[in-house]
Amino acid sequence: MTGVLIVDDHPIVLQGFRRMVEDAGVEMIFEAGDPVSGYRLFHRIRPQVSVVDLAFRGSGLAGLSLIRRMRALEPRARILALSLNRDPVIVARTLQVGATGYALKDMPADAFVEAFKAVSEGRNYLPHAIAQDIALLHAAPCQPPAAELTAREIQILILLGEGKTYQGIADILTIGYRSVVNACAALRGKFRVSTQADLVRISLDYRHDRPVRRSVGLHGA
């Protein structure tokens, strides 16, 4: 494995992270602007470290699926996830699908370099405040519904908020239509709501990087 792969669909952001990776002493850097080309590059070059944005325009948190596929292809992969989202549920699921570390896009450059170096050395990395939030989430005597969501359910929830139809979601995630129908039924059950409109309302929190449990009237939020 050699070099670093950066996958992000915002050219300016891509350039910024490229400079920071170069500041960390890396010379061989590969770039991809979407999950499909990102996975193809990963499959071909098997980079030492992959830096992956979680959110892609029109595809929800497609980075979750990309990270899962990378980990399945290369169990030793070192993957740093990037996001503006501080929700501990999303962070926890990102680690569960295979990310080695999680960095915030608005963190200072020196903090990003610290995160990158940790992951490149095979060490896990989480911003301190997020690590505390995850610990508190797991320690809570009564878990909020959001804590029960799978990575796939989170993806579907966000895509609903983007106005995608069931078939559109199935196409984006390359799963069956019936799987989407069943997942939405499970989501309504977990959040104790009865309509699709309720799910769309809840999904807006994830789209705007706000923890779901703040907007659905959960106790202890």
- Same domain as 94, residue 158: no
- Could you tell me if residue 221 is inside a domain? no
The residue count of the chain comes to: 221
Tokens of 74: 């290369």
- Same domain as 182, residue 104: no
pLDDT tens, position by position, 1-10: 579 999 999 8
pLDDT tens, position by position, 143-183: 567 777 888 888 898 888 888 899 999 988 889 999 999 99
Strand partners, 51: 6, 80
CATH of the domain at 106: 3.40.50.2300
- Could you tell me if residue 181 is inside a domain? yes
Structural domain containing residue 8:
4-136
- Same domain as 156, residue 125: no
How does residue 185 score in pLDDT terms, banded at 50, 70 and 90?
very high
- Could you tell me if residue 56 is inside a domain? yes
- Could you tell me if residue 96 is inside a domain? yes
Prediction pTM value: 0.75
- Could you tell me if residue 218 is inside a domain? no
Lowest mean pLDDT across 13-17, 55-59, 70-74, 178-182: 55-59
Query: In the chain, how many domains are there?
Result: 2
For residues 203 and 66, the model is more confident at 66
Domain final residue pick, 111, 136, 161: 136
- Same domain as 168, residue 194: yes
- Could you tell me if residue 220 is inside a domain? no
Domain final residue pick, 88, 110, 136: 136
Q: Is 59 helix (H, G, I), strand (E, B) or coil?
A: coil
- Could you tell me if residue 73 is inside a domain? yes
CATH of the domain at 208: 1.10.10.10
- Same domain as 162, residue 125: no
- Same domain as 195, residue 100: no
- Same domain as 90, residue 155: no
SS3 track for 2-54: CCEEEECCCHHHHHHHHHHHHHCCCCCEEEECCHHHHHHHHHHHCCCEEEEEC
